[in-house]
Amino acid sequence: MDKPFRPATRLLRAGRPHRGWVNTPVTRASTYVFDSVQAWRDTRARREEERLPSYGARGTDSTHALEDALVELEAGHRAKLYPTGQAAIATVLLAYLRAGDHVLLTDAVYEPVRRFCAEHLSRLGIEYTYYRPDATGIAALIRPNTRMIYAESPGSLTYEMPDLPGLAERARRHDCWLAVDNTWASGLLYKPLTLGADISILAATKYLGGHADVMMGAVVTNARAWRALERATIDLGQTVGADDAFLVLRGMRSLPLRMAQHARSALRVADWLLGRQEVARVLCPALPGDPSHAIWKRDCSGANGLLTVEFSGEFGEADVERLIDSLRLFGIGASWGGFESLVIPVRLDTSRSLPDTGRRGVMARLHIGLEDPEDLIADLEHALSALSPVSRPL
């Protein structure tokens, strides 16, 4: 028997036509017409269970091709696409939770999700509690009405990783869903569904698109979780355009190559930063001293371009803002996962509900892009020297 192809090979073949054009042509479409009333009726009866062309909002060849590639990447059952990562998250919360339910959310959740919970879950009578990003102490927070554990691994800004197989076991015992925001790994470096999660959420805006030119979200589920997601997605009118699906699928072909380079450069920059006296810590689970390093090593197959730098106690917010302003190769802006380097100041006091146990100084998040890392280091060196007065003791 033939050996199964390795992941990089499978990713290059996923979601492609079996013959003819190498890429699935872009199908911009709303209406699909049928040969007869019987064929129309037949499709409408079957489309809940099968993926058939029936109406533009339910998908075209272009979106189906991307869904296939994402299912391959995440080793899932089926996938749905959304106009943003945030829309994907909102749909997941609405699909599986109803009035009277309770959801446990990581305190390192992507920040806009917090307002969605405060404004919309509350309004719908759905309770929520934040748990520590490494999931310690979660057992005491589970209630009889807990219907979902929502994780993000590694978490936003500080990259804590919970023991996902342990969380999955807990969720199964309690008969509740385990949903994971898998944007950090973008499906490539970490496989929540194979570690026991039911639902994996991706901001394809980040590394999947990879070129800072498209917004998209995706959700991949196992077989058990599929039906509720598909129905909610259709009821909420969530869909994406064919051109955007084409761009994300094109980005995915070079995902392993780009990710490996982002990681190589980020680790090179992290090494250099750790040798600077202005830097107290560099947060990144791939670094040996990181609190999540052991879990990262066990559950992930690589790293990405994200680093959060914690500055020494002597530096205040204004110093760090000055440093950020003086960087030339790092754009100041939201998102990450494109080809370019980015930076933002980080404030945990406004983006967390639980007290942060690790004492942290002022921080900045870097996205290490595909520029030559030596140029990025030179840029950081120049900015850091402007920060530290020359008279400072060595």
Ligand X SMILES: *Cc1c(COP(=O)(O)O)cnc(C)c1O
State yes or no: residue 261 binds ligand X (CB under 6 A). Answer: no
State yes or no: residue 181 binds ligand X (CB under 6 A). Answer: yes
Among 23, 27, 84, 388, binds ligand X (CB under 6 A): 84
State yes or no: residue 60 binds ligand X (CB under 6 A). Answer: no
State yes or no: residue 107 binds ligand X (CB under 6 A). Answer: no
Number of CB atoms found within 10 A of residue 21's CB: 8
- Which span (46-54, 83-91, 141-149, 237-245) binds ligand X, by CB under 6 A? 83-91
Kindly list the strands in the beta sheet with 279-283, ordered across the sheet, starting from the edge strand earlier in the chain: 279-283, 306-311, 363-367, 342-346, 331-332
Contact string (CB under 6 A) for ligand X, positions 123-162, x = contact:
-----------------------------x---x------
State yes or no: residue 215 binds ligand X (CB under 6 A). Answer: yes
- Which span (81-89, 117-125, 288-296, 374-382) binds ligand X, by CB under 6 A? 81-89
Q: How far is the CB of 216 from ligand X (least distance, A)?
A: 7
Surface-to-core class of residue 259, CB atoms within 10 Å of its CB (0-12 exposed, 13-18 middle, 19+ buried): buried
Main-chain phi, psi angles of 255, to 5 degrees: -55, -50
Q: How far is the CB of 203 from ligand X (least distance, A)?
A: 3
State yes or no: residue 217 binds ligand X (CB under 6 A). Answer: yes
Rounded Cα gap, residues 154 and 162, in angstroms? 8
- Which span (19-27, 45-53, 203-211, 374-382) binds ligand X, by CB under 6 A? 203-211
Residues 266, 307: contact at Cβ < 8 Å? Answer: yes
Among 27, 86, 261, 385, binds ligand X (CB under 6 A): 86
Rounded Cα gap, residues 133 and 156, in angstroms? 9
Among 153, 205, 308, 341, binds ligand X (CB under 6 A): 205
- Which span (24-32, 79-87, 163-171, 303-311) binds ligand X, by CB under 6 A? 79-87
Distances (CA, A) of 84 to 160, 215, 222, 310: 24, 5, 21, 30
Site size toward ligand X, by CB under 6 A:
14
Rounded Cα gap, residues 181 and 54, in angstroms? 30
State yes or no: residue 85 binds ligand X (CB under 6 A). Answer: yes
SS3 9: helix
- Which span (199-207, 218-226, 227-235, 272-280) binds ligand X, by CB under 6 A? 199-207
Q: Name 199's bridge partners.
A: 179, 221
SS3 16: coil
State yes or no: residue 203 binds ligand X (CB under 6 A). Answer: yes
Please state whether 169 falls in left (phi above 0), alpha (psi between -120 and 50) or beta: alpha
Q: How far is the CB of 215 from ligand X (least distance, A)?
A: 5
Q: Among all chains, which residue has been given the structure tokens 């690790």?
A: 358
Q: How far is the CB of 145 from ligand X (least distance, A)?
A: 26
Q: Cβ-closest residue to ligand X?
A: 85
Q: Which is nearer to ligand X, 11 or 113 (CB)?
A: 113
DSSP 211-255: SS----EEEEE-HHHHHHHHHHHHHTT----HHHHHHHHHHHHTH
Q: Which is nearer to ligand X, 104 or 157 (CB)?
A: 157
Contact string (CB under 6 A) for ligand X, positions 321-360, x = contact:
--------------x-------------------------
Q: Which is nearer to ligand X, 180 or 269 (CB)?
A: 180
Q: How far is the CB of 306 from ligand X (least distance, A)?
A: 9
Q: Which is nearer to ligand X, 205 or 292 (CB)?
A: 205
Rounded Cα gap, residues 319 and 149, in angstroms? 39
End-to-end CA distance of the chain: 64
Distances (CA, A) of 140 to 101, 109, 131, 148: 17, 20, 10, 15
Rounded Cα gap, residues 120 and 320, in angstroms? 35
State yes or no: residue 183 binds ligand X (CB under 6 A). Answer: yes
Q: How far is the CB of 110 from ligand X (least distance, A)?
A: 4
Residues that bind ligand X (CB under 6 A): 84-86, 110, 152, 156, 181, 183, 203, 205-206, 215, 217, 335
